[in-house]
Structure 1
Amino acid sequence: LALEEKLVCSICLELFKVPVTLPCGHNFCERCISDHRSKQEQGAAGAKRSYQCPECRQSCEPQLELKKNVTLCSVVELAQESKAGVQRCEVTHGGLCPRHGRPLELYCEEEQRCICCVCTVQQCQRHRRALFEEEHSRKQVGNGGATVGSALGLTGLPHQDSSEALRSVILSKFAHLEKGLEAFRCQMVAKVEQELSAALRRVEEDSNTLKGHLDTLRQHQEQARDLLVSTMDHRAFLELFLGSGLAPHSWGAGTYRPHLPPLLLRAGCALFPSIFGAALHSLNHSSWREPGAIKVGPSISAPWVSFLSPDHRNLTFDPDTANKYLELSKGHRRARHGTGTAGGWQERGSPFEPWQVLCEQGYGQGCHYWEVAISSHSVILGATYRGLPRRQPPGHKFSIGLDGGSWGLQVREDGYLAWHKGREEKIQERLYAQLGVRLDYGRGLLSFYGLGEETRLIHCFHAVFTEPLYPVFWLCEGRAVTLGRRD
């Protein structure tokens, strides 16, 4: 024990590990004295200085190279081996065989007890034997497995209970939802049947009205034929026919108006917008269109032009909102994206950073229609609230249709994209040089048409408008847009 105390480092208080000797003669672990020296060598300003021996405080040069004390190393190794031998002896002589009084060295698996070397030759000669370490490891693994198994069993119970409770809650929620949906379905079916019955009654009434008109026309026709037979003079016939009150009355469009119930129409638009979009406009227009205004011709677009024409609006661009690269015509009816800044352009108002421009006209009620001629694809036309952001949005060259207050139709080389709230909807349709836009503010409809040999509905937005809407346009380089005008 006294020798072991002499072999202890005064810094770490453990046996030397790679001992080195200072010039003063004191010994330390190489790592301990290196750490001590590095701490003392660093001054306040970072300059190196000498360090002192932890035992006698004698100064040592910082450049001094410390060398291993080989003799002391050998003494430390002998001390460590001696300590290990003592420990092994303590373990070996810790127990004696009750049969023969010898140290216990093996474990008999048959008798499940520790045995000595004499037992292996006599009583346990044919038994299975094992070293203490192997049996100890086997016992530990068995006990650990049992402990883990019991722990897993105990842990699984609350998880199973939790999953059962969650499953019960989910089934209860879905059952509640199913009941609610079933009740709502019954209400909607009853409402649809009620509306359908009312619509059929109105159709029957309109049919009866038309039959009455037809009977009246037949009576006038017969009376006119009789009067024509009895009167040979044409002038006299006209005077008698008009003076006798036989001329038939003219019935306007207000006499009968076949239409679908609003509930059916809204449901159809919500479920099948591509199918009911055109039907919705057609039915809306039929409620105010005069029959005499329809011009029947070889083009199937004639009925569409007739009901769009009364709401036509002549638009003009707002120069205060035009991007600096957009050139406006003298009457502000044509906008062109040139290669440089537009001539005479001065920053005023609130111009767009993207290549966009608003129209001066805004509409907060009623029905409105305007036409646009485009030079090529890569343009956007739409409608927006006045507060459309003027700055360039990150990741986009335009701001139309990226928020909840603007709606846009992008004309591309391969079709169209409908934009709203940053979401796009691809539309496969041929490109048109002329496009029509119709706004039905009260019904929340913004429709885009392709104008050509036949008029086709390209897309229809359905929304609840809360502010006046202004026509808005975006033009790529080299593109031009001309607003249609009618006198």
Structure 2
Amino acid sequence: ASQKLEEKLVCSICLELFRVPVTLPCGHNFCKGCIRDHWHKGQQAPAAAKTGYTCPECRRDFERCPELEKNVTLWNVVELARDGDARGSGTGRCEVARGELCPQHGRPLELYCENEQRCICCICTVRQCQGHRRVLFEEERSKKQTFLEESLEEAQEESERIERAMQELDEQTRSIKDSSDKLKSRIQSKCTHLRKALEDFQCQVVARIEQEQVSRLERLEENWSLLKDSLDVLTQYKEKAQNLLACPDHRTFLQELPRLPRLESPEALVPVEFDVAHVIKPILETLADISRLLLEDLPGSVTPKAPNPTGQAPSTPLLFPDHCNLTFDPETANKYLELSRGDRKAKHIPSAICRQQEQEPRFEPWQVLCMQSYDSGHHYWEVKISSHAVILGVTYRGLPRERQHGHSFNIGLDSSSWGLQVREDCYLAWHKGQAEKIREELYKNLGVSLDYGKGLLSFYGLGERTRLIHSFHDVFTEPLYPVFWLCEGRVVTLCQR
């Protein structure tokens, strides 16, 4: 009965409870604003479509616009209905909180509209949501609750993942701070040593240059004195000769001529040269030692480590894109080394002389240079060896051709060459006659990386994993040539790409 009463208090134009109800002469009720807007729209229509003043319910026409007076009685009933909806009445309806009322109609929310995804009242059911799928709150909550529980589990898992990620970031932060502090301390220590080394170096170099200067100037002064004495003798000779030539008496001329001193060749001057190379050589050696001092024990960012791929052989063209194709120099090859495959393969044949040995520029040891040389940039090449008892390295062009120090090779025995000797049980890194022993797996495929500008020479073992065997740090001052030494029966092949 309450619902039927409420339906009678609804304006048929706006479908809402009457706001200011007015009654037309035909007895039908409307909101004052709704009927006025309805008639106003009818008056503005084209002449053929004008409707005049007509009741929207019964279509009764009025000759003139009826007076629209507020229906006070109906207004009071509407207000009572509104108050009853908001506060409840004597019909037994429970008191309803504001959040449980329909915001449009002020009625209790009783159903859920799946189409509009909202809670609705009975008036919404009849009007806006007529024909929509409507379900009870309990049914819709059951579906929504299942979804919410799944969403909550996902949120919990995501929260745990984020917390783990935050912990990892915290650990990385601590690691970076620790590494940074250690690196700063190490760099500060090395810079302190560097300053001390440079100060000592400066004093030694300046003293050496001054000593060389004094020595050369003394020799120049001696040469100047010799020239001055010779000039004085020549001046006296010229004076006596001119006087004799001016003598008019023939007898006197002939008697005095033998008494003139003979012109003698001046004493040979001592060659004097300020040998810059002789002065610079120890300077370069000291700078190399200082460079090594700075580079030793620094992290892998300074000494690059070989990559550590898993599951397949390394892709060295990606690691070192600037691969070089080398060829052996036949003019430098020892007479027992046979070159083939376009001078890319060298084999030591001890029983046959492959070429006549010459004084220059062939090696007396079983060695050979490559044609290529490098004085800047980064370069990489690969070699394949048949077995151990092989040395590979780089050298300046002036590497001695004869045997030295009783060795069968001379790679790495001075300051102008660097070499890696492959032995049966280890490797030996040679430089300045000193060998550093390296325990590592024997590789038959080896890679050499040369970064001339950084003074970095690295040797890699190439297998299922690429592994750094050894790195040299030095200051390079001349073009570097790849060089090889082969024991009897050994074969070295230069890999091409």
- Whether TM-score is above 0.5 comes out as no
Under a length normalisation based on structure 2, what TM-score does the superposition of the two structures give? 0.40
TM-score, normalised on structure 1? 0.41
Which structure: larger Rg? 2
